[in-house]
Amino acid sequence: MHGITVSLVTYGIAIVIGFFIATLIWALPKLINLLPHGEDKKD
Amino acid sequence: MENFHVLSLFEGVSALLQMPISVAIGRIVLVLLGFLMIYLGRKGTLEPLLMIPMGLGMATINVSTMFFDPLNLHHGLGNLFVEPQAGATTDAVRNAADLMTIMQIDWLQPIYTFTFSNGLIACFVFMGIGSLLDIGYVIARPFSSMLIALFAELGTVFTLPIAEFFGFSTKQAAAISSVGGADGPMVLVTSLKLAPELFVPIAIVAYLYLGLAYGAFPYLVRALIPKHIRSIKMDPPKGIADISSGKKIAIAVVACVVLCFLLPVAAPLIFCLFFGVVIRESGIRQFVELLQGPVLYLSTMFLGMTLGILCDAGTIMDPKVLPLLLLGMFSLTLSGVGGIMGGYVMYFITKGKYNPVIGIAGVSCVPSTAKVAQKIVSKDNPFSMIMPYALGANVTGVITTAIITGLFINLLK
């Protein structure tokens, strides 16, 4: 694979995985709050 | 006593006089550079944690050459610190014998062989960094942090074809461009996996520039962002204090498992980072103190010192190193510019309410670039508090660098 192809493929996949992780980070606290007793105590 | 010469008493001096004049001058320049690094580290212009041990190592190694070359690798000249080439031949029997010999002579060889050349020290540094990270800043603004961090990878991604154009193989080019991620441990792992023959010079270039970024990024930011925009006041994001440690642990565990599942090749580093985060949030005081203190600082000290010792004129003056120096600088600068572009995108999305200086923190040199961002803004507007946003981008930058490291290695191995 040429360097430019590697760069573009890498950047494209990184954007997809990056926003997938961001969505997880955004959604998880909300999911935890939905669980019974999910709203845990503040430290 | 007939052939006695006073210089034979001082082997460092006679070795310097016997080497080619260009190499001797190179050594003297590197000694002076080492002094400068210590001075700038002490002054706080460059990152002192790395620059002081590295500067002293660099100055020392370039005057400690003697008539000693048990492995016949350097035309009769060597030192008693470390031999990075030991065990690098294709002859397994010779490699084992070389390592056994050199381990008993060179005092830093066990550190280099058992922690440096296999990435263990990078893992220790990541555990320590993880234990310092509050991922609450990422949880508060995951999308804007991710956007900035992805922009700040421009150097990592687009230096690759340029390095290839300069004659490096695709694997070598990927290892060089990883300098743009500004994440020392990731650079060590990428070069070990993809271009072990360039491991030493790439590691030196990476850490040298990480120290320099601390001093040079403020100029880049001031050049690209006018003062009235740098002064935009930002209040600390709301809700960070409401994020419980339980939620932070849950997110760290899930993010760690998902990332390791997707990119097993970067799993040791990803695991170490999130291990530090989980330990911090678990409140196991003894472990937190161990990671934040001895583990982080002992590894950083030996990392800086070993890197300095590796800055021998023989390595630095290799003709291959000059393009590495230029490409590394280009990669890091491009990442800085990319981060600022990300900051501007957020500035326009929020209609001028977001301070684009935060973008520089997307370059994941945790927590240096976040501190740099706050320092710049504080000078222009002491009431603007961008640190929480900058730390969010900073932590996310580590994640994006891990993703790109894993992808490079998977695509090119």
**CB-based contact B408 A11, cutoff 8 Å:** no
Judged by CB atoms closer than 8 Å, whether chains meet at B244 and A40 is answered as yes
Query: Residue B163: its chain A contacts at CB < 8 A?
Result: 3
Contact yes or no for B245 and A43 at CB 8 A: yes
- Asked if ipTM goes beyond 0.90, one says no
What percentage of chain B reaches a pLDDT higher than 70?
Answer: 98
Greatest Cα pair distance, chain A, in angstroms, is 53
Task: Report chain A residues touching chain B, CB-CB < 8 A.
Answer: 1-4, 6-7, 9-11, 13-15, 17-19, 21-26, 28-29, 32, 40-43
pLDDT at site A43: 46
Residues 6+ apart with CB under 8 A from B302: B111, B115, B121
Closest Cβ opposite residue A3 in set B142, B164, B251: B164
- The crossing angle, in degrees rounded to 10, of helices B296-310 and B120-132 is 140
- Please say if the pLDDT value at position B284 is more than 80: yes
Within 332-371 of B, beta carbons closer than 8 Å to A belong to: none
Question: Alpha-carbon distance B384 to B125, whole Å?
Answer: 31
What pLDDT digit, counting tens, does each position of B126-172 carry?
999 999 988 998 998 999 999 999 999 999 999 999 999 988 999 99
pLDDT (average), residues B199-228: 86
pLDDT tens across B45-95, in order?
888 888 999 999 999 999 999 888 888 888 888 899 998 888 777 888 888
Q: Which of B211, B151, B163 is nearest to B343 (CA)?
A: B151
pLDDT over threshold 90, residue B344 = yes
Cβ B266 vs Cβ B189: under 8 Å: yes
The per-residue pLDDT for range A14-41, each reduced to its tens digit, is 999 999 999 999 999 888 888 776 555 4
Listed by number, the residues of chain B in 255-284 with a beta carbon closer than 8 Å to a beta carbon of chain A are: 255, 258-259, 262
The pLDDT of residue B95: 85
Would the pLDDT of B211 be above 90? Answer: no
Residues of chain B contacting A29 with CB distance shorter than 8 Å: 139, 243, 247, 251
Contacts B259 to A, Cβ<8 Å? 21
Minimal C-alpha gap between A42 and chain B (Å): 5
Mean pLDDT across B200-221: 84
**Which chain B residue has the Cα nearest residue A15?**
B150
Q: What is the mean pLDDT of residues B248-270?
A: 90
- pLDDT tens, position by position, B4-56: 676 677 888 988 988 889 999 999 999 999 999 999 999 988 888 889 999 99
Contact B370, B394 (CB under 8 A): yes
What per-residue confidence (pLDDT) applies to B365?
Answer: 77
What is the identity of the amino acid at B147?
A: L
Q: Do A14 and B407 touch (CB under 8 A)?
A: yes
